[in-house]
Structure 1
């Protein structure tokens, strides 16, 4: 749902995505086969960007530190402490995502996109 919202708000992105899809699919293909969909890099970029701007949940999944405590980014956190990180806040860090309030699917393409993946926590991250 949020992907369609951002595409409608950004006609250039919608046109670029439509061009990619039209060039990959045959006119008579009603259901896109996975072997073609997996090659639609701009589609993936649009999905990732919409999840970055509008994550499914604003709060991360709570985790607990082990009983003996844990160091997180150089800070000792006592044992059995609930910790979490907000995807909404992380995805708006301008040091990681320039123009964080703008819909820029291109940020997910190429090497830049690979570099951003560790910071993409729309569905939380690991256990």
Structure 2
């Protein structure tokens, strides 16, 4: 899926972002770490931490949106390929006139290929 996105030469998709998302290990349970002891000037540090966390959350939301776009493009492409295959597999039988035309063309091509040069 993501390999198809990497092959797209389009400025809209950041291939570095797709590579990072492919390489990122998924964790079902987040790592739980004990919060550090806050000094007396904690409100400034907490505000900075909250701002950094909000920036990280917005970056992660953007990455999720990109991955959803990649998955959607892959689904649309798979559906298009399935439709093409079903058209090829489920071709209607030829009418008698169409078979006659096809046979004439086949005979002409065969004659041209087997004709001495």
Give the TM-score of the pair, scaled to structure 2: 0.28
If you compute each CA radius of gyration, which structure gives the higher value, 1 or 2?
2
Larger proportion of helix? 2
Larger proportion of strand? 1
Give the TM-score of the pair, scaled to structure 1: 0.26
